[in-house]
């Protein structure tokens, strides 16, 4: 499935010991399908590099853009439905129908 990634900085979450951490929503969008999951910074960096196959530099640049601007996209990404499920991405309900 060829598509693109959309990364949104969604909010600050309060973690253990009162620490706050940024949360990001990763959306993988193809034609009429969207897969989504929320990650912390390190978790998303790991998925982008080790599961999706972006270079560490490209993944870091995308995350920095999302931090500064609130959102960013990464074009021309291909993830199979099985791989999306294996990464824990959930298929969003379709707007069509």
Q: Would you list the domain boundaries of the chain? A: 2-91
What pLDDT was estimated at residue 22?
83
For the domain made up of 2-91, the CATH class stated in words is alpha beta
The dihedral formed by the CA atoms of 24, 29, 32 and 33, expressed in degrees to the nearest 10: -60
Q: Is the separation of the CB atoms in 26 and 44 below 8 Å?
A: yes
What pLDDT was estimated at residue 69?
95
What pLDDT was estimated at residue 93?
83
Each residue's pLDDT tens digit in the chain (97 positions)?
689 999 999 877 666 677 667 899 999 999 889 999 999 999 999 999 999 999 999 999 999 999 999 999 999 999 998 999 999 999 998 655 4
What pLDDT was estimated at residue 64?
95
Helix (H, G, I), strand (E, B) or coil at 26: strand
What pLDDT was estimated at residue 97?
44
Q: For residues 47 and 43, give the distance between their C-alpha atoms in angstroms, rounded to a whole number.
A: 6
């Amino acid at each position: 499935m060829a598509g693109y990634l959309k990364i949104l900085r969604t909010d600050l979450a309060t973690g253990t010991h009162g620490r706050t951490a940024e949360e990001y929503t990763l959306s993988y969008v193809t034609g009429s399908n969207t897969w989504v999951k929320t990650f912390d910074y390190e978790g998303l960096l790991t998925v982008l590099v080790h599961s999706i196959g972006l270079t560490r530099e490209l993944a870091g640049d995308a995350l920095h853009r999302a931090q500064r601007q609130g959102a960013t996209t990464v074009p021309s990404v291909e993830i199979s439905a099985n791989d999306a499920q294996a990464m824990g991405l959930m298929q969003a309900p379709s707007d069509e129908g």
